[in-house]
């Protein structure tokens, strides 16, 4: 967290999915959120979580945004937005251009969309798998809402991903880890330097 904040991350994510190697307890999340508050947008990443679970995180951790990374319907996002009073972001799994169609339904209610790679067959994780997709399919996408690119990004390929997709926001997890679930400060700094160094056309 310190490395991400010091290197200028605009958003930081806290993982609330027990099967993930990045899962944090509520007390860990509170401590990390307190470090980030006022310096970066705090995002709570959830997967098909019920309203009670969201409320508990909201009361204790006070995130700015909930990231929905499961099969949540647009109506579930709308309910969370009203009941929690936070921003909501929907992750959409992409393998080819046809997967972009659902984005238009979510864009009505979500404050932001995240285009992540579809997980490999058999993966227990809906994200954080370090796999990517054809970044060029995001080029010229017009949603009238901000959107981010993720999936398999790392300090070596992020500049190319930004150039090919034309996006101005990127998200990373496993690409800044030295081993599964263990973040590396040097890789975080390198990623942010590479991402922030790219001039986005337009």
- What residue ranges bind ligand LGQLAAA5 (CB under 6 A)? 13, 15, 17, 20, 22, 45, 47, 69, 114, 116, 125-130, 150-153, 171-175
Closest CB to ligand LGQLAAA5 among residues 54, 125: 125
Shortest approach of ligand LGQLAAA5 to residue 6 CB, angstroms? 20
Closest CB to ligand LGQLAAA5 among residues 123, 202: 123
Quote the radius of gyration of the chain (alpha carbons, Å).
Answer: 16
Shortest approach of ligand LGQLAAA5 to residue 150 CB, angstroms? 4
Closest CB to ligand LGQLAAA5 among residues 117, 201: 117
Please say whether the beta carbons of 46 and 78 come within 8 A.
no
Sheet holding 147-149, edge to edge: 11-16, 41-46, 65-68, 87-94, 112-117, 147-149
d(CA 149, CA 157): 12
Shortest approach of ligand LGQLAAA5 to residue 4 CB, angstroms? 12
Half-sphere exposure of 15 (CA within 13 A, CB side): 18
Shortest approach of ligand LGQLAAA5 to residue 66 CB, angstroms? 12
d(CA 23, CA 88): 20
Shortest approach of ligand LGQLAAA5 to residue 172 CB, angstroms? 5
**Residue whose Cβ sits closest to ligand LGQLAAA5:** 128
Shortest approach of ligand LGQLAAA5 to residue 130 CB, angstroms? 5
What element of type H or E holds 104?
helix 103-107
Beta strands of 4-64 (E only): which ranges?
Answer: 11-16, 41-46
Closest CB to ligand LGQLAAA5 among residues 126, 201: 126
Closest CB to ligand LGQLAAA5 among residues 71, 202: 71
Burial grade of 169 (CB within 10 A; 0-12, 13-18, 19 or more): middle
């Amino acid at each position: 967290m310190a490395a991400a904040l010091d290197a200028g991350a605009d958003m930081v994510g806290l993982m609330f999915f027990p099967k993930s190697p990045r899962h944090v307890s509520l007390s860990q999340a509170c401590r990390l959120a307190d470090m980030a508050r006022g310096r970066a947008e705090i995002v709570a990443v959830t997967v098909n979580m019920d309203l009670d679970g969201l409320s508990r995180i909201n009361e204790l951790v006070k995130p700015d945004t909930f990231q929905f990374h499961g099969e949540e319907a647009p109506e579930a996002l709308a309910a969370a937005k009203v009941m929690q009073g936070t921003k909501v972001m929907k992750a959409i799994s992409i393998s080819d251009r046809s997967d972009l169609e659902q984005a238009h339904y979510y864009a009505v209610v979500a404050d932001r969309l995240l285009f992540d790679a579809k997980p490999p067959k058999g993966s227990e994780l809906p994200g954080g798998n370090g796999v990517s997709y054809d970044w060029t399919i995001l080029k010229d996408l017009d949603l009238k809402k901000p959107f981010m690119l993720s999936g398999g990004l790392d300090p070596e390929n992020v500049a190319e991903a930004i150039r090919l997709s034309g996006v101005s926001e990127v998200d990373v997890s496993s690409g800044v880890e030295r081993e599964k679930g263990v973040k590396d400060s040097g890789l975080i700094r390198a990623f942010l330097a590479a991402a922030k160094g790219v001039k986005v056309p337009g």
